[in-house]
Amino acid sequence: MTTTESTKTTGATVAPARIALSGVHKRFGALEVLKGVDIGVEPGEVVVLIGASGSGKSTLLRIMCDLERADSGEVWVNGVPLHDRKRAPEIFGHVGMVFQQFNLFPHKTALGNVTLALLKVRKLTRAEAEERGRAALARVGLADKATAYPAQLSGGQQQRVAIARALAMDPAIMFFDEPTSALDPELVGEVTGVMRALAEDGMTMVVVTHEMRFAKDTADRAVFMDGGVVLEQGPPEQVFGNPAEARTQQFLHRVLDT
Ligand SMILES: Nc1ncnc2c1ncn2[C@@H]1O[C@H](COP(=O)(O)OP(=O)(O)OP(=O)(O)O)[C@@H](O)[C@H]1O
Ligand SMILES: [Mg+2]
């Protein structure tokens, strides 16, 4: 089934969107974490999610990349409806994920980490996987670290290997959940620099981050989450410079002061 056909069957306008969510609810036991989220991300768009701890940013991101399922509402990724479990495998090739913790295998080299899924999931030959893996490492500026083990790399370099691992799968969209939060401050720039280059190459990205400078100079849209809903969204300069909601102002004062 094509995207166009999928669109027809639900009436949702997902055709050009990389992601479309409508009316997404999620609860963990008695706690209602997402209370009806509607959001769309267009191809090539860079969206940053901001909001206080516990506002539901990670949960929303995890639902977008199918690590968590919504209780109700619709989620489409690259034209594939996630409620159609038979088609869920189609989206795995479309999404790349990068988290705060790099989750590299310590006993594998940088290239070994980057090629693992290409070999095991994509079933590429070793030569093909290594060619793609080296290209991905080059893209994050680590061509010379292919044979290094994670313990021999800085935190920033390890996170760039994790980004290369996601890129090697040739994703249509990348999700980042606080990719620089575990890094020493002086290493943040090398990771946001790689992310900025990806954005300039036209990658569709959804990024949970507290890096306001990255958000301001790279994002097309900032989305402020509060208590499980999208309270406010717009161009970063507007959301950061002239927020409409008092809750957004309070949040920005807190993060900009610390
Ligand atoms: N698997 C889970 N089981 C139970 N509660 C959960 C689970 N995952 C998240 N929560 C709760 O849901 C709420 C939202 O969590 P979430 O991780 O989405 O927030 P967040 O905005 O990413 O916060 P932070 O900025 O601290 O990362 C929190 O109260 C959290 O404790
Ligand atoms: Mg989180």
For residue 225, which atom of ligand 1 is closest to its CA?
21
pLDDT category at 15 given cuts 50, 70, 90 is: very low
Q: Which region, left, alpha or beta, applies to residue 26 given φ > 0 means left and ψ of -120 to 50 means alpha? A: beta
The residues lining ligand 1, judged by C-beta closer than 6 Å to any ligand atom, are 28, 31, 33, 51, 53-59
Residue nearest to atom 5 of ligand 1 (CA): 28
Residue 92 has a pLDDT of 65
Q: To test the ligand 1 pocket, which listed residue (28, 50, 178, 225) has its Cβ within 8 A of the most ligand atoms? A: 28
For residue 51, which atom of ligand 1 is closest to its CA?
21
Closest CA to 99 of 209, 225, 211, 232: 209
**pLDDT tens for each residue of 145-184:** 999 999 999 999 999 999 999 999 999 899 999 999 999 9
Q: Give me the residues paired with residue 12 across strands.
A: none
Beta strands in 183-228 (DSSP E): 204-208, 221-226
Residue 62 has a pLDDT of 94
How distant is the alpha carbon of residue 197 from its chain centre?
15
**Does the pLDDT of residue 251 top 80, yes or no?**
yes
DSSP 37: E
Residue nearest to atom 24 of ligand 1 (CA): 53
**Does the pLDDT of residue 61 top 90, yes or no?**
yes
| Ligand (nearest to CA of 68) | 1
Mean pLDDT of the chain: 90
Element holding 22 (H helix, E strand): strand 19-28
**Does the pLDDT of residue 129 top 50, yes or no?**
yes
Max Cα-Cα span within the chain? 56
> How far is residue 251 from each of residues 87, 98, 248, measured CA to CA in Å?
39, 25, 5
| Ligand (nearest to CA of 210) | 1
| Ligand (nearest to CA of 177) | 2
Q: To test the ligand 1 pocket, which listed residue (53, 176, 180) has its Cβ within 8 A of the most ligand atoms? A: 53
Residue 8 alpha carbon to ligand 2 centre in Å: 34
Percent of the chain with pLDDT over 90: 78
Residue 65 has a pLDDT of 86
